[in-house]
Amino acid sequence: MGDEGQGMTKPILRALAGEAVWPPPLWLMRQAGRYLPEYRAIRAEAGDFISLCINPKLAAEVTLQPIRRYGMDAAILFSDILMLPWALGYGLRFAEGEGPVLPPLRDAATLATLDSARVPGAIEPILETVRRVRVELDATRPGETALIGFAGAPFTVACYMVEGHGSKEFGAVRGMAYRDPALFGGLMDILTKATIVYLSAQIEAGAEVVMLFDSWAGVLPPLLFAAHVIEPARQIVAALRQRYPHVPVIGFPRLGGLSIADYARVTGVQGLGLDTTVDPALASALVPGPVALQGNLDPLAVEAGGPAMREATGKILAAMRGRPFVFNLGHGIVPSTPPENVAALVGLVRAA
Amino acid sequence: MGDEGQGMTKPILRALAGEAVWPPPLWLMRQAGRYLPEYRAIRAEAGDFISLCINPKLAAEVTLQPIRRYGMDAAILFSDILMLPWALGYGLRFAEGEGPVLPPLRDAATLATLDSARVPGAIEPILETVRRVRVELDATRPGETALIGFAGAPFTVACYMVEGHGSKEFGAVRGMAYRDPALFGGLMDILTKATIVYLSAQIEAGAEVVMLFDSWAGVLPPLLFAAHVIEPARQIVAALRQRYPHVPVIGFPRLGGLSIADYARVTGVQGLGLDTTVDPALASALVPGPVALQGNLDPLAVEAGGPAMREATGKILAAMRGRPFVFNLGHGIVPSTPPENVAALVGLVRAA
């Protein structure tokens, strides 16, 4: 750490500093996951999902599996966006086949149970995972693979807490934002502050990049998007950049549509994640460098492989050549993806 | 019909012809629906949902209920986007509390069971509803309320047929589009042609505007969006405009994000529906007149009512003043909406 010369700076860090690195660095959302047999073996050993997230030995191993297999340019901490509410003492469980389940947060009394003082202690096993992965990457992939830490963005975390589970539209969340802006604002404020604490701790533990996943940003109309997606991201980026000016932040306002250009400009992120629906050429025109774009191949094109994957990958590479860019998917790898399709994709991007 | 002078042309038809009518004409998606006690009474009488859709007397009554209550500028045929696969002889049922259920279409043999020759006969009760509503509107609201017919856009209908039910991501559909473009293209082709037949028949029966609902357009990456959202809409608009040059078409590529400007330009629609996530000022800049924009208040803002509804409505009206525009929601009214909030909304728009 710190002893590499400029020529040894990891490709993804160069791209996130505004350099048009080519072929582009790549990693894939959910690159550590159920499509890999070695992941499924560890998952079976770990017990439930939360136990895996707070087991530094196993979580570090899972984080590193796709690096060993594919030599990705980034490892992303294996964890879950809902580990922050868990760290705040909020009930969380993962029900088999139906995703996360939490007690729905609908009143000030429940909001008052969130305990920010619990966070530093609760996240310790997650930070230990970060430390272990960083040590391993420094030993085995110096100058190559960077470590990305992450958190769910406050709005997306609030979505699950208020609704109590996943949803297509998150109507209860929007309803609360309209009907009781003080209550919803209070929740957003607690989550924004806790996210700054959480990401700062990941950086201190060795994360070289952090990413903010706003998976449900796309359910919001423009007024609420500005207030609950852009503004908290702006606050988080400002706080992190003040403390850690050399650690880039990637924002991912999924399905942000026409609002992604505003998001990039106002928040001051160094990288902008594009979801699958975004036309890469249009995004490139709307969001000029030095902001690096990251994305956005459809995971279903990787699952299909073959000519469909080649065509879609080629379109993205052609649109992004000559600008700061990190190749990725526009959403996570789906579990039914053949691992050999991922290998073929890595080959396509490396040959760009 | 046909005997009104220019001054008597219905406001929504003037807006869809490119005129900046002010205050803007308004109607609301799902204005006939469960939030209305008079709807729930009919629904209980009708039996299952499909039975209501093919009962001309009750379907016409339900279509007219919000016109009597609020004096909307348009009535929209009460029906469902999946009545077209139903008319093609494809199994459809509405399971209580879980939405539509269909046999998943995954192979050429199943595709071959679709019977386009069944459509004209099967849709007859729906056309009878259109005739009855038109007669009633001509008698009671001459020069005021227009009748909108509609269909699900081929991609959205294909989503339900391939997946077999609703979904967040419609992965099976995208997977088929990538892996078996011939099979998926065959389905899209049948649906596109049947949609032209279906909408033409609605126009012959008295629909003065038709709307194409592409509710799941937003799950597609740009290449598939161009092929399966924009291109079928272009074909449908071209065929209808050739036969019925005075009947405007409203396209609604929901969650189309950055691609909605392309959609408007390439398809040649007279009206473009905006979903809740679109910034109205940005859309107004991207899609110039004479195309009329339609939208896009968040239905949850109507459910909340009060200052939140006033603020969001005011923003939309301010952005749309001076251009062809039809006030609407960005998605359907939610069942928990108090009917008096809808009345208040109508008052706000009428006073613009």
Residue A5 in this model has a pLDDT that exceeds 80: no
Residue A70 among the catalytic residues: no
Of A171, A181, A258, the CB nearest to B257: A258
Confidence band (pLDDT; 50, 70, 90) for A6?
Answer: very low
In this prediction, residue A8 carries a pLDDT of 73
**Does the pLDDT at position A198 exceed 70?**
yes
Question: What's the average model confidence in pLDDT over B287-301?
Answer: 97
Say yes or no for a CB contact (<8 Å) between B278 and A257. yes
The answer to whether the CB of A114 falls within 8 A of the CB of A154 is no
Say if the Cβ atoms of B175 and A303 lie within 8 Å. Answer: yes
- Nearest Cα of chain A lies from the Cα of B1 at a distance, in angstroms, of 39
Cα-flanking dihedrals φ and ψ of residue B327, to 5°? -75, 135
Nearest-Cα distance to chain B for A331, in Å, is 10
- pLDDT, residue A3, reads 42
Q: Where are the domains of chain A?
A: 33-292
- A279/B258 touch (CB, cutoff 8 Å), yes or no: yes
- Is B131 annotated as catalytic? no
Residues of chain B neighbouring A178 (CB-CB closer than 8 A): 298, 300-301, 303-304, 308-309
Contact B221/A304, CB-based, under 8 Å?
no
According to the model, what pLDDT value does residue B287 have? 96
Q: Which residue out of B173, B258, B278 would a mutagenesis test of the A interface target, given it has the greatest number of A Cβ atoms within 10 Å?
A: B258
Q: Which of A128, A1, A129 is nearest to A61 (CA)?
A: A129
Contact (CB<8Å) B278/A258: yes
Mean pLDDT of A340-347: 98
Find, among A232, A239, A237, the residue nearest to A250 by Cα: A237
User: Residue A148: CA atoms inside 13 Å, Cβ hemisphere, count?
Assistant: 32
pLDDT digits (tens, 9 = 90+) for A276-329: 999 999 999 999 999 999 999 999 999 999 999 999 999 999 999 999 999 999
Of the candidates A80, A115, A138, A180, the residue annotated as catalytic is A80
The predicted pLDDT at position A4 comes to 45
Looking at CA atoms only, how far is residue B174 from chain A in angstroms?
6
At A1 the pLDDT is 41
Nearest Cα residue in chain B from A311: B223
Q: CB distance A308–B279 less than 8 Å?
A: no
Alpha helices in A141-180 (DSSP H): 154-163, 171-179
Residues of A in Cβ contact (< 8 Å) with B309: 178
Asked whether residue B1 carries a pLDDT value surpassing 60, the answer given is no
What is the average pLDDT across B248-271? 96
Please give the pLDDT value at position B97. 75
Catalytic annotation, pick one of A35, A160, A198, A263:
A160
Chain A contact set for B179 (CB, 8 A): 304, 306, 308
CB-nearest partner of B277 from A218, A279, A311:
A218
Which residues of B fall within a CB distance of 8 Å from A174? 298, 300-301
Q: Which residue does chain B place closest to A168, by CA atoms?
A: B168
Q: What is the mean pLDDT of residues B20-46?
A: 96
Residue B163: pLDDT band by 50, 70, 90 thresholds? very high
CB contact under 8 A, B277 and A220: yes
Q: Is the model more confident about B65 or about B99?
A: B65
Both structure tokens of A215: 């998976």
Across A93-119, b (16+ Cβ under 10 Å) vs e yields: eeeeeeebebeebbeeebeeebeeeeb
Q: Do the chains contact at A174 and B298, CB–CB below 8 Å?
A: yes
> Cα dist. A99→A49, A94, A102, A208 in Å?
10, 5, 10, 29
What value does the CA radius of gyration of chain B take, rounded to a whole number of Å?
19
Q: Kindly tell me if the per-residue pLDDT of B58 is higher than 90.
A: yes
H-assigned helices in A268-305: 280-286, 299-304
Q: Do B278 and A298 touch (CB under 8 A)?
A: no
Query: Which of B255, B282, B300 shows the shortest C-beta gap to A218?
Result: B255
**Range B217-237 average pLDDT:** 97
pLDDT band at A95 (very low <50, low <70, confident <90, very high): confident
CA distances for A300 relative to A27, A118, A329, B47, angstroms: 16, 39, 10, 40
Confidence of residue B6 (pLDDT cuts 50, 70, 90): very low
Summarize pLDDT for A36-91 with one digit per residue, the tens.
Answer: 999 999 999 988 899 999 999 999 999 999 999 999 999 999 999 999 999 999 99
Q: Is residue A168 very low, low, confident or very high in pLDDT (cuts 50, 70, 90)?
A: confident
Q: How many CB pairs under 8 A join A and B?
A: 124
Q: Is the pLDDT assigned to residue A188 strictly greater than 80?
A: yes
Q: Is A34 a catalytic residue?
A: yes
Q: What is the mean pLDDT of chain A?
A: 95
The answer to whether A224 and A263 are in contact (CB under 8 A) is no
Partner residue opposite A175 with nearest CB, options B169, B282, B304: B304
Are the C-beta atoms of residues A77 and A148 closer than 8 Å to each other? Answer: yes
Q: Would the ipTM clear 0.90, i.e. be above it?
A: yes
Split at pLDDT 50, 70, 90, the class of B4 is: very low
pLDDT, residue B2, reads 42
Helix (H) or strand (E) holding A43: helix A37-46
The shortest CB-CB distance from A171 to any of B169, B300, B306 is to B300
DSSP assigned state of A251: E
B276 vs A179, A221, A260: nearest CB = A221
> How far is the alpha carbon of B263 from chain A, nearest alpha carbon, in Å?
13
The whole-number pLDDT of residue A142 equals: 96
Average pLDDT of B157-174?
93
Q: How far is A219 from chain B (nearest CA, A)?
A: 7
Cis peptide before B296 (omega within 30 of 0): yes
Q: Which fold has domain A33-292?
A: TIM Barrel (3.20.20)
Element (H, E) at A168: none
Q: Which residue of B has its CA nearest to A275?
A: B221
Q: Which of B43, B69, B234, B241 is catalytic?
A: B43
How would you write chain B as a 3-class SS string?
Answer: CCCCCHHHCCHHHHHHCCCCCCCCCECCCCCCCCCCHHHHHHHHHHCCHHHHHCCHHHHHHHHHHHHHHHCCCEEECCCCCCHHHHHCCCCCEEECCCEEECCCCCCHHHHCCCCHHHHHHHCHHHHHHHHHHHHHHHHHCCCCCEEEEEEECHHHHHHHHHHCCCCCCCHHHHHHHHHCHHHHHHHHHHHHHHHHHHHHHHHHHCCCEEEEEECCHHHCCHHHHHHHHHHHHHHHHHHHHHHCCCCCEEEEECCCHHHHHHHHHHHCCCEEECCCCCCHHHHHHHCCCCCEEEEEECHHHHHHCHHHHHHHHHHHHHHHCCCCEEEEECCCCCCCCCHHHHHHHHHHHHCC
Domain B30-292: give its CATH architecture. Alpha-Beta Barrel (3.20)
The residues with which B152 forms a beta bridge, in sequence order, are B213
Total residues found in chain A within this entry: 352
How many whole angstroms separate alpha carbon A203 and alpha carbon A175? Answer: 35
Determine the residue type at A73: D
Maximum distance among all Cα pairs of chain A, rounded to whole angstroms: 56
In A, which residues are within 8 Å of B224 by CB distance?
298
Q: Would you say the C-alpha torsion B207, B156, A273, A43 has a positive or negative sign?
A: positive
